[in-house]
Structure 1
Amino acid sequence: MHDASRPVPHEPSREPAAILLDCDTGIDDALALIYLCSQPHVELVAVTSTPGNVAAEQVARNNLALLELCGRADTPVAIGARSPLRVPLVTTPETHGPQGIGYAELPAARRTHHARDAVELWVEAARARPGELTALLTAPLTNFALALRAEPRLPELLRRTVIMGGSYYYQGNTTPTAEWNTHVDPHAAAEVFAAFAGQPEERLPIVCALETTERIELHPRHVAALAEAAGCAEPELVLPDQPEGLRSRASNPLVRHMSDMLRFYFEFHRRYDQGYAAHIHDYFAASVAADSAWYETRAATVHVETQAPRLLGTTVADYRGLWGEPATARIVSGNRPDEAFAELVLSVGALARRLG
């Protein structure tokens, strides 16, 4: 049986990290990608695009534009699946805007996505660099499930796997019981967790679920702090009493685009009675993958519901081994939001200042 009473703490090491990122960009995915670009010890091996917040082609356009904006235009961007494994794609223009990046209008990238399929890139990279790569998954798990079908040894080939998804004994954000990424493609999530059954605990995916990612709640004061750290000429004020849709005039381009994204996200959260704030789930997962965050985990066997219509995408964690099955995940049970935001402001602010 798993020992439910003993969370395992992890201290940040900031050792060099080579990351394969799969995302559905998405405002919080965008912040995660910008953060990774700000980390000198992070190598972005590839950024692959999964349908979710927007269609896969738009995800790829967002990724290309953000990488160019952040000075990482040499990072390959690829597209894999165009839809979930078995259910129709549902996107979220009300949450992230029609292009997935709120009010931001990013300059179009000067290149296009890679001609090769995302799954091929993942498998090829993992085989070429066994034990070196960290998989960071901030989207529905469609592409990763397909990669596991193509190369079942991925759990052994990867150094670490970090997933943003699910909610365990915690209210969902899409249905009463289901988190967005898992609800979009529950069948893929079920396949991914099953693929890790029997792995030693240190190889199990680290799962950043809603109960800890919703603690990473960004407020207008954090936007102001980012702008100050970036050296903006004027304070950047994104305030609840301002007109909806107001566009930033920040002197720093990266701050301006982030501010326009976050204003949209603040307005969405307020519309759904969550206050003028934003849960930036994917940034926290990125800091875990970059090994720049403190967190603690508990091993569990994860079940993803794929049959009952009202419970589709619901995730259940057996922390005590009552099912008699091996653990398939290490679920984050604790984090430190104040430290997370200090890290975000310092690192992304410095990147924005460097880029001018």
Structure 2
Amino acid sequence: AVSSSPTSVPQPPPTAAAQQLDELLADLGHMQSKLSGQGARVPAEPSLDNMLGSLTRDLQELGIAATPAGVCAGCRKPIAGKVLTALGKTWHPEHFTCARCGQGLDSQPFFEQGGRAFCEEDYHQAFSPRCAYCAGSIREVKPPPVLPHHPSPPPATSPHLSPQKVLTALDQTWHPEHFFCAHCGKVFGDEGFLERNGKPYCHQDFLAMFTPKCQGCERPVTDNYLSALQAVWHPECFVCTECLSGFAGGSFFELEGRPYCELHFHQRQGTICHGCGRPVTGRCITAAGRKYHPEHFVCTYCLGRLQKGTFRECGDKMYCQACHDKLFL
């Protein structure tokens, strides 16, 4: 839309006929004022058409030709006095009004939209983009210039009518001061924003609220990661829960949702050989509540292999029958 200013048609130097017309109009107004001031009963108001018709006839009787300045685009009647030109048409000054609120525009700037004139407030309310946050109009168009024929300097533009910047994001328009993080309320800086479900977020809040968290340290995972045990991990955080050592060869053991190295997994499970202290992963002998590799289930004294059911226990050590009798009987 383009802002415009109505202009008055330049008037030619007054002729004798024009002067007589002005005098007649002045006399008519003076007579009406005088009658009203004296309290005299005023007859029913004649229509403007009848008054103009009567004046035209009187002027014609005096030999004066009264030619209208044009037809008013507002009332569709001839213009005999002051004429105003705007939107490529002529108007009675009092008929050039805002198409929305009806206030006069003959002495103030206006905006044009679809061939109609609007005051600044109504133009922005009807046609300016709306802020997605406050639903208010964004007045991105500069106020139009002052009318050339304005008799005095125009009043200062109200602060709410000053030009505003429009920000476009997420397929919507915003006042720049209203485009901020949906969580913390901070206006976005040079780092920009991230979107989730149609709402903008600062990087810090987006990471805290929506980014997957490392199962090890519970901090957001933003770069390289490992996926294991139905969770994501920073590579440096995927270590044995017990000794915090990395997994050689990438193999690990799971217990209650946590990763363990082989040694500490078997310790937790109670499957460490009591003889050698290493995990028991194959055949196993259980005796006295302890587990052994078959080859490590031997007599503590003679190191001969023991058979289940033919050994003796003393303290936490195992002995064959012969050694037990020799040592303790």
Give TM class, smaller chain: under 0.3
TM-score, normalised with respect to structure 2: 0.22
Q: Which has the higher helix share?
A: 1
- The higher-RCO structure (CA 8 Å, 6+ apart) is 1
Q: Which has the larger radius of gyration?
A: 2
